[in-house]
Structure 1
Amino acid sequence: MSKVDSNEIDIIVKNSVSLINIYCSNLFEFITKLEFGDFIKKAYSFVDENNGTRRKANFLSSFFELAIEHAENNSTQIRIEYETLNFLLGEGLKMKLGKKFRNLVKSSILNFSDQSILDVMGELAACITLSKTYNFDAYEHTLQNGKSIDFVVSNQSSTFLIEVLNIKIENEKYEEEKFKNFITKRICDKHKHKSQNLSELESEMIIIFPIIYGLTQTILREQNQLFASFESIMKDDYNIKCFNPYSFCQYNQGNYIFKQVHEIL
């Protein structure tokens, strides 16, 4: 990416705002167009200062990919992701989740971290889902071992530490008999990383919230029983608290659902 002057930046910002209006207009219910424009300006400054280099997997990179996909019209993958993000933001608005959810949206998007759009979608979807049952107490909580956990939620009797785990399936590598080990290992590795050097009490408060992407009808059919019993499998076999896996499903043009995988078929 070559350096751009101030006039070009103004045009880029205007076009960027227009792009968000097309694919993710609900974003402007959480951040202003001026804030988003400043984010784009900082992004181009960052790229200029790093000789055209940008991070490979964060929200900003996905936005650049969205612009390319929109211009070339040779794929719909990124546009579907932004439409899904738009749906989630709309759900948050309908549920009136308030300042904490608004801060979650802003902190997830207006940064240059290695957080991909799938990470953003996963955290927002988990937050919305959990808020239907629990009180949403905190985002990005620091554990006693210095590591962060995505959410702190509570009910009348208990407090829980929720870690969202995004799992992307590469369909060409899918093998029916190895799938269970693949998923359980990802969950065990995530729990081990977060719970290292924690007290037994704090470790037992951690619950993994798995979200699976790239599911096919074949995987849904062959693994449906596994998905329906995952919570008990992880508890009984590995002593790890875990929700049954969730996923996104587009059931009509522009309409999405987020539900436990075994309920999709």
Structure 2
Amino acid sequence: MSKAAANYQPKTYTYKQLAKATQNFSRENLLGIGGFGSVYKGILSDPSLTVAVEKISANSKQGESEYMAEICTIGRLRHKNIVQLQGWCHDVDNLLLVYEYMPNGSLDGYIGKRFLDWEARYKILIGLASAMHYLHEECHNPVVHRDIKPNNVLLHIEYNAHLGDFGLARLLENDSWVTTLPAGTRGYLSPEISFTGKATPESDVYSFGMVVLELVSGRRSKGIIGFVDNLLDYVWELYGRNELTKAIDPSLEGNFEEEQVKRTLLVGLACLHPYALYRPKTRKIDIWV
């Protein structure tokens, strides 16, 4: 970490500053709508800086708690593959978060929608694995993200991946499991969360595994028609028949190193093991991928 990054602290903005930066939160500047608010592109002055401004819905009580969780968690994280919180605004009933702007949007906008070559896909997975390794094992107080999915993987220039949206994230205390209500996104939740209600590094690893399968195959985790009912079953079936290469996105047209792609799929399947204790640690994923 550079000295500049170590000394960096998010700042407080006024509502007036952020309204001006986003042209009064105009529709033209709308980047997307999440579960707890809307995100706008903004341009701050003095100095000039392009940012993403998340405006928390005034009617969302859960959004308010996630606003605080985001500040308490992401506000202290410093890693090249984690979205940096630039600041916030708490002005009467207005809750806003300010992030660095990601010009290539989220990974969700690419899988099955826009083409990415294998080099870009592999680079994204390496970046995401590095972010997870930092959260689980390298930062001062380990963090469980709890909502790793393509929507929360944001892409900077040259498709450098940045993990964002830490509203559901929780600190690990004394290396113990974090007791929570089940939270996250269906399709990316590990099996044990449904009956334990506890998020762990292993549950993050499971979510990462699903992102691996989606990105390599170019398919989403649900909706494969005429074979099996979800992507995980589909890839496991191919693996059992020694036909794993059939899971690779055909739009790549063979422009990849086959052994590297197969190894990546195997890492994804290992991360998706139904028993948490058999999933690899993020430090091993960081080496394998």
TM-score, normalization by structure 1: 0.31
Which has the larger share of helix? Answer: 1
TM-score (norm 2): 0.29
